[in-house]
Amino acid sequence: MTPEEVIRFVKEKGIEIIDLKFTDLPGTMQHLSLPISELSEQEMTAGYGFDGSSIRGFKAIEESDMLLIPDPTTAYVDPFYKHPTLTMFANVMDPITRDYYSRDPRTVALKAETYLKESGIGDTSYWGPELEHFVFDSVRFDQNQQSGYYFIDSDEGIWNSGQAKSLDGGPNLGYRPRYKEGYFPAPPFDTFQDFRSEVTLKLQQFGIRVEKHHHEVATAGQAEIDMRYDTLIRTADAVMLQKYIVKNVARAYGKVATFMPKPIFEDNGSGMHTHQSLWKNGANLFYDAEGYALLSETCLHYIGGLLKHTPALLGFIAPTTNSYRRLVPGYEAPVNLVYSVRNRSACIRIPTYFSSPESRRLEYRVPDPSCNPYLAFAAMLMAGLDGVINKIEPGDPMDMDLYSLSPEEQAKVKQVPGSLDAVLEALEEDHQFLLRGNVFTQDLIDTWIDYKRKREVDPVRLRPHPWEFYLYFDV
C-alpha cells in the first residue's frame, strides 16, 4: 500500500490503532502504537518519535531522540489485538540529519539490496529460510549468586512417558516422539498439527505464503514452518512475523514457544537453513545446465565467499552462546565447511528436488533462528558477493557422509569455530567485505562485538555451570 491507501484502508475497515514494529540490534521485535487520529500522510513521512537510548544497541542517552518511519508496503491487520489494529514495519531515522540510522537492522538489509543492484552483479536476491522452533508447556529458569537452573516441560516430551498422568491431569496416553525420532510422525504422536496450521493461516493473513509445515526431529514439539522464498527485505520481515505469530499462538494455547537454538540436551537443536540465489533481468544467475549440480560459476564463487567468511559470518548468523551447543557433530548440525549436492552433512547443500533453472539455489545450513534476520541475510549476501567479485573458488565438493569419515579424513575437513567468543574474534579480523557500499558500518560492527562480549560471552563465562558441580564438587 501507499500512504494514501493506508489512510483509506483504516477508514474503510474501522481500524482504531496503528502499530509500528521494528527490531533492536540483537533482533528482538519492538513496537509503538498510536490512535488513527495521529495518522496522516504528512506524519507518516515525518515519522514518530521514540527514545533510542532505551533500545538495545542504539543511541546513548544524550542523543536519544529517534524517529520511526512507517513502510506502508508492509501494512496488514494484526490478528492478535482486541481493538482493530493495522501493523507496519518501520525504519529508524535520525531526526537531525534525516538519514536512516546505520544501526537500524532493517536499514542495513535495505542497503544490502541496494548494493547488489549497484554492484552490477544482479538486481534481486531470493531467500528461503527454514525456521525451527520448540513449543513447551512450561519453562522456569533463574540465576543468582547462589543458584542457577532451568527447567522445561512438555507433555509431548518422551521424558514424561513414565508419568501416571499427563501434564493437564488426564491419563498418560503414551504416544510421544522418542529422542531424535520426531521427524514426520502422524498424530497421535504429533500433537501440534492444529497449532502449526493456525500459525500457517495467520502468516497468510500477513501476506506470507507458506509452502509446508511439519514436526521436526526432536521430541517435545519441535517444528518447522517453511515460507515461500521472497526478496531479502520481505523475507527478513517474514522471519520476524513468523517468530511473532508462533509465540503469540503458543500463548493463546497456554504454551510457550522458543527459537533458542539448543534448549534440550542430547536432542536436535533448531536451525534456520537458508536457501538463497541471485537473479538479474529475470534470470537465475546460479543456474548452468553444464555445471556441477547445474550450478554456474557465479554460484560456485558465491559459495566460495560464504565458505571463506563463515567464521566471521557466524557472529551474525549464529550469534548466541547457545548457538554453539547446536553446532556440534552428531545432531545433523552443519559443522563441516564444505559444499555438496543433496548432502545434509555439509554446511552448504545443493537441493536437487527439481532441475529447472528457476529452482537452482544453495542451502546454507549454518544459521539459526536466534539471529537478527536483517543483519544475517545482509551479511550472507555481502559474503557471497565478495566471493563473486574476487572469484573465490570453493574447492571440490564433498559428496559423501561427512559424519562417517575416519579421524584422519575428518582432520582434513575444516569445521566451524566452536564458541561465540571465537567467531567474534573472527569477525573482528574479517569484516571488510561487510563495509562495501556502507551496508554495514564500522560503528555497527564494533557495537555488535562489544555488546556480545559484555552482555553475553562474559556473563556466561563467569557463572558456574550446574554440571561443574557434578564434575568437581568433591575435588
Among all residues, which ones are annotated catalytic? 51, 130, 132, 216, 224, 273, 344, 363, 365
Question: 7 phi and psi, to 5 degrees?
Answer: -65, -40
Secondary structure of residue 56 in the 3-state scheme? coil
| Closest listed residue to residue 161, CA positions, set 219, 79, 105 | 219
CA gap 452, 428 in Å, rounded: 12
Q: What is the DSSP letter of 440?
A: S
Can you say how many angstroms the Cα of residue 32 is from the centroid of all Cα atoms in its chain?
23
Which residues are CB-contacts of 336 (< 8 A; sequence separation ≥ 6)?
Answer: 345, 346, 347, 398, 402, 413, 414, 415
Cα 78 to Cα 82: distance, rounded to the nearest angstrom:
10
Q: Coil, helix or strand for 388?
A: helix
Task: Give CA–CA dist 12/330, Å, rounded.
Answer: 55
Q: How far is CA 310 from CA 321, 361, 425, 430, in A?
A: 17, 18, 12, 10
C-alpha cell at 289: 545446465
Query: Is the distance from CB of 347 to CB of 334 less than 8 angstroms?
Result: yes
**What is 265-324 written as a DSSP string?**
TTS----EEEEEEEEETTEETTB-TTSGGGB-HHHHHHHHHHHHHHHHHHHHHS-STTHH
Nine-digit cell string for 219? 521430541
CA torsion angle for 320, 439, 27, 316 (degrees, to 10)?
Answer: -10
CA-angle at 67, arms to 66 and 69, nearest 5°:
155
